[in-house]
Chains A and B, each alone.
Chain A
Amino acid sequence: DTGVSQDPRHKITKRGQNVTFRCDPISEHNRLYWYRQTLGQGPEFLTYFQNEAQLEKSRLLSDRFSAERPKGSFSTLEIQRTEQGDSAMYLCASSPHVGELFFGEGSRLTVL
């Protein structure tokens, strides 16, 4: 399978714990995006990488959120000291050029 893959698909955690999500993009895509989606909303942009460079970060991303793409391939999104408001679907997408994004199936976070 050469699509975008995300891991884990579902994470349940207690408030205050740290969680990390991983995204493996389509291999020839140099752009990688993280979005967050809650029920009834469209995807909200979080951050964007071109190769290993993080070019943009949304104001939605508080200091508790950090994303990395150390070698320009896979990316991780870490949330520290999780809060109940962090519960959402975290979507990763990759793109060979800006515009057409290919999404993974998402990582659903539930913070108790």
Chain B
Amino acid sequence: DQQVKQNSPSLSVQEGRISILNCDYTNSMFDYFLWYKKYPAEGPTFLISISSIKDKNEDGRFTVFLNKSAKHLSLHIVPSQPGDSAVYFCAARINAGNNRKLIWGLGTSLAVNP
């Protein structure tokens, strides 16, 4: 049972345009959401996060939007750059007692074309 779903395995965008990566979740107990970027042969790198009490968080070219009623979040990258080409993982946090861990989506591979 995939509690965090990234339904698009890949996305291709032209340099300078907006990249929108989507993530859906099923567990209403999630209270914190994170996006990670991963290059081949490297560990994931934290990108941006959002608390469940907010609907938007912005950091430079990266903005994450959260729609709790739809259990949906999205990562916007504007403008997209070739160096953004990587696999992007959405992760959600369960924080209940000692059960503190992240649940991960399967990732979306973003290709930004020059």
List the interface of chain A (C-beta within 8 A of B).
4, 6, 31, 33, 40-45, 48, 55-56, 91, 93, 98-106, 108
Q: Is B18 an interface residue (CB 8 A)?
A: no
Q: Is B45 an interface residue (CB 8 A)?
A: yes
Residues on B with C-beta less than 8 A from A42 are 4, 89, 91, 104-107
Asked if A40 contacts B46 (CB within 8 A), the reply is no
Asked if A105 contacts B98 (CB within 8 A), the reply is no
Shortest A24–chain B CB gap in Å is 13
Assembled-state Cα–Cα distance A31/B98 (Å): 12
Residue of A nearest to B104 (CB): A42
Select one of B95, B98, B102 contacting A101, CB under 8 A.
B102
Residue of B nearest to A92 (CB): B43
Shortest B14–chain A CB gap in Å is 25
Residue of A nearest to B33 (CB): A99
Residues on A with C-beta less than 8 A from B101 are 33, 45, 48, 56
Q: Is B59 an interface residue (CB 8 A)?
A: no
Could you give, for residues 31-46 of chain B, a 1 whenever the CB lies within 8 Å of some chain A CB and a 0 otherwise? 0101010000111111
Residues on B with C-beta less than 8 A from A48 are 100-101
